[in-house]
Amino acid sequence: MSSLTLTEMIYALSKIEYRYEYHPQSCHDAGASGGHPTQGHLQLLNQLALLLVTKAKSDVAAVSLRDVENSRILLGYSKNRPFTNPETKYIGDLRLIAADPTTTRGRKYNDLFDLVLQKCQKKITSWLRGICRRLGELGEKRNFGIKGLGSDEEDEIESYATWCDSYIRKVVGENIFPLTCSLPSFLKRWFKGLLSAMSDSSEFQYWEGERLVYHNIVIAYWIARDLEAHKLLDSSLLLLIGKLGDYCGAIIALVDKMVLLGRDACGRISMVEVGRMLDSLFRVEENLKLMLTRIMVN
């Protein structure tokens, strides 16, 4: 078994530390009990970490938030590898956009989406492909496993409105999701459109479909939070949809956190890559040991 690098050990310890400190058993019970006070903090950490994953595979991140003196916050971040310079700049850009006191929430959301769609392109495409693979397994002729549909969209067993319908219509428009259309029918249309867009070529033209990607993420966000949708969809498909929608949730959480910190949010947050910080400390320690050794020898 190969030995772990220092950065890998730091990442593992950071994951263990916040799971231990915030009691994982409380997280498992949150759905039934109405949520634990620390569950929101854990969710925020996971959401922020999601935005730092820029590769499709073998790329994981951890984030910690600590209150320090003078109402300041220390944001520590780490990966299973050192951050590249462009990745470090990306983290700074996330903070600057989310904390900009001169822009509205709506503008922050749009600007952050543009940035995240660019930097997390590979991972987002991976989730889209995962959804399409599962849709292929479920099969269009079987209505992708959607409950409430007959052999054709017109043969709906039940037509009803759900609370997320209006949110989705704001994104896609009434031409795509008419007022007379039920959620099961819309889901089938959405899945067919997604399969068509992803199968046009062997390599999905991400930027040509940037608006489509944005729409898919926001739709996935609302679908994953609608209890009625949970009753309609295959559980494994719903899990993949939730993973895609998490990008929308992460952006909302980041903006909301900055708004709570006030107009001086950017100045109140200090950021440090934990791995590089400890690497530096270890190098200082080794240098001191070497200097003491030389003094003792002399």
Last residue of a domain, one of 207, 230, 248: 248
pLDDT for the residue 235: 92
Let me know whether 209 and 228 are in one domain. yes
Are residue 113 and residue 126 in the same domain, yes or no? no
The b-or-e profile of 55-67 (16+ CB within 10 A means b, else e) is eeeeeebbbbeee
Residues forming beta bridges with residue 65, ordered by sequence position: 75
Q: Residues 152-162: what's their mean pLDDT?
A: 55
Q: Tell me which long-range contacts 142-149 makes (C-beta under 8 A, separation of at least 24).
A: 143/188, 144/187, 144/188, 144/191, 144/234, 144/237, 145/233, 145/234, 145/237, 146/184, 146/187, 146/188, 146/232, 146/233, 147/184, 147/231, 147/232, 147/233, 148/182, 148/184, 148/232, 149/184, 149/185, 149/188
> Of 248, 265, 285, which residue constitutes the final position of a domain?
248
pLDDT for 57: 81
Question: So what's the pLDDT on residue 276?
Answer: 52
Q: Check whether residue 229 and residue 277 sit in a common domain.
A: no
Compute how many other C-beta atoms are within 10 angstroms of the C-beta atom of residue 127: 22
132 and 98 in a common domain: no
Whether residue 241 sits in one domain with residue 272: no
Q: In 51-104, which residue ranges form alpha helices assigned H by DSSP?
A: 85-99
Is 149 among the domain residues?
A: yes
Copy the structure tokens of residue 163: 């609370």
Claim to verify: residue 257 and residue 114 sit in the same structural domain: yes
- What pLDDT is stored for residue 151 in this prediction? 53
The whole-angstrom separation of Cα 104 and Cα 111 is 11
Cα–Cα dist 28/92, whole Å? 33
Long-range contact set of residues 60-64: C-beta below 8 Å, sequence gap at least 24: 60/11, 61/11, 62/11, 62/14, 62/15, 62/18, 64/14, 64/17, 64/18, 64/274
Per-residue pLDDT tens for 224-252? Answer: 998 888 989 999 999 999 999 999 999 99
Same domain, 173 and 128: yes
Report if residue 235 sits inside a domain. yes
For 267, the domain range is 6-118+253-297
Q: What is the mean pLDDT of residues 121-132?
A: 91
Q: Is residue 78 part of a domain?
A: yes
Please indicate, yes or no, whether the overall pTM of this predicted structure exceeds 0.85: no
Q: Are residues 62 and 100 in the same domain?
A: yes
Contacts 24+ apart (CB under 8 A), 277-284: 277/76, 278/6, 278/10, 279/6, 279/7, 282/6
> Hey, which bits of 20-113 come out as E strands?
61-68, 72-79
Q: Do 52 and 78 fall into the same domain?
A: yes
Domain identity same for 243 and 126: yes
Task: Tell whether 163 and 229 lie within a shared domain.
Answer: yes
Same domain, 32 and 144: no
Q: Is residue 1 part of a domain?
A: no
Residue 203 is assigned to a structural domain of this protein: yes
What is residue 104's DSSP assignment?
Answer: -
Give the domain-ending residue among 248, 272, 289: 248
Quick check: is 278 in a domain?
A: yes
Least reliable range by pLDDT among 15-19, 127-131, 208-212, 241-245 = 15-19
Q: How many domains is the chain partitioned into structurally?
A: 2
**The tokens of 99 are what?**
């904390």
Identify the pLDDT of residue 262: 81
DSSP letter for 80, please. S
What gap in Å lies between CA 250 and CA 248, rounded to an integer? 5
Q: Which residue has the higher pLDDT, 146 or 35?
A: 146
